[in-house]
Every structure is written in structure tokens, then in C-alpha cells.
Amino acid sequence: MNAHRSDDGLDSTIAALAASDGDALAKADAEGIPDSAEVLDWSAMVQRVVLGERDLSALRAVVPTLVERLARILRTTTLPAGLEPERAALQLVRRLPRVRATLAQDVEAAFEGDPAATGYAEIVAAYPALRAITTYRIAHELHRLGVPLLPRIMSEHAHARTGIDIHAGARIGRRFFIDHGTGVVIGETCQIGDRVVIYQGVTLGALAPRKGQRLRGVKRHPTIEDDVTIYAAATILGGDTVIGRGSVIGGNVWLTHSVPPCSKVQIESPRLQLDRDEQCIECLDQLSWDI
């Protein structure tokens, strides 16, 4: 079967698809788009090494491979001036021991903070929050090096798998614990201190004036100081918003202003109204419970 006949009317379609008229998709192609599958496979390999590999012989075999594969991926995208693929790959891999040490503290914080955890292995093998944080810690090092696209591909894949959205540009301290985690959003310019605990549905986001790219490089997301706990579905917005050290932010709180250290912020308890359905009660009284 012929793939194409000259009289099937597809010539104009093919020509239009091949045309490059400078639209956003053409610009994206010109910037260089790495193979997402290759990026994610490399990321998975790094995570296996960082979280679980201890055999010296295995590490001697796999670590150079990590450098080679990352350099190959980086050659397919546009890097900042002066950043060579091989040098960037080597720098990233040299940082992995520090990443591992930080992740060990994150695991410790999860174990200490979650009475449902039966052991460290359960956290490493099964907790989606640790998967998201692990991806973030590696992607953050790429971001610090100035590597484009790869950190975002990694972060969005973790987001899709775990429901936790952590931008690689955020700065997050030691012993970070996300409990449950579904729906957590942490923006690019967020700064988070040490020993911070966040529950599901928390948003650390930006106020949304219609300025778009004019806000690039501006701090848009809040600062969370050390020893803060933020309960479920709280929303904290704005680059000037600082949550002081040792504060507790209650569930469903909406904050766009700073609070001093050791604050407790909560919405006023709602008044509950209870009415009894007398007809339902009569119906229940008539039920026979004989078996």
C-alpha cells in the first residue's frame, strides 16, 4: 500500500506541517527538546543509586554511566553560555553524596513524624512524598547548575505520579516532611527552612497579577521559616509573605501576609447545627432486628 499518492490532497497538509513560521512550537523546537523518556530513565537510575545502592563494585560501574548519559542528554538542548555538557554532568554527579545525606535526613523526619510508619524501608519504598522530594532534590541541583528543561520534565513526572508539585527552583531545607501529600504545590521562588512539616492540599503559591513574563526572576512565593507546621488545604501566597519560625498554620487558612514567629493561625471554628429527622427515627423504631 502506497504511503502517499500525489492525488490524495495531502501535499498541502504535509507542506503546512513542515513549515516553520516562527510560532511558539517552532521556537520550542529551535531551543532543543530532549527525549523525555531518556530523561526520566536517567532520573530513575539516579534515584536508585541515591536511595538504595551501596555495593562498591556496582557503584563503580553505574556512576560513570550516569555522567555519560546525562552529558548525552544535555547535548540535545541549549545550555547557558559557558556550560559544557560534560562538565555539567560531572558536577551534578559529584553532588549526589550531599543529596543522599539530605534525603537520609528527610527519611528520618518522616519516620519521626508519622506514627503509621513501620520502619525506614517502608518510607523509602512506598511513600509518595519521599519520591517527590527525591526527584526535587536531584532536579534542584540541575536547576542550580543552570540546566534547562530537564528539572521541569523530572518534576512534572513526579507530580503526575504522586500528586505533589514541587518546582525545582524552590529552596528547601533539611528534614523536610510532607504527610500524605496529595495536592501539595510549592512554587519556584519558595524558600522553606529546616524541620518543616506540610500536610496534603497545601499551596505555597504566588499572587496572580497579570504580568506574566515581567515577573520572571522576582520572588513570588512565600518564605517558610524553620520548625513550621502547615495543616491540610492551607493556602499561603505572595513573595513578601513570611511565616515566622515555630508557627502553626491551621487547615483551610488563606494567608497573603506575614505572621511573626511562634504564631498559631486558624480560622474561627464553624458553628455546627444538628437537627433530628423524627420520621426517620420512627422508621428505625419499626425495623425488625431478628435474625
Within the chain, what is the greatest distance between any pair of CA atoms? 83
* Nearest Cα to Cα of residue 166 among 140, 148, 147, 142: 140
Q: In the annotation, is 257 catalytic?
A: yes
Amino acid in position 196 = V
Q: Helices marked H in the chain — which ranges?
A: 11-18, 24-31, 36-52, 56-74, 85-94, 96-113, 120-126, 128-145, 150-162, 278-285
The single residue of 4, 167, 180, 257 carrying the catalytic annotation is 257
Distant-in-sequence, close-in-space partners of 70: CB < 8 Å, separation ≥ 6? 42, 85, 88, 89, 92, 93
Determine the 3-state secondary structure of 56 from DSSP: helix
CA distance 164 to 231: 15
What CA–CA distance (Å, rounded) separates 225 from 122?
29
Catalytically active residues, by annotation: 257
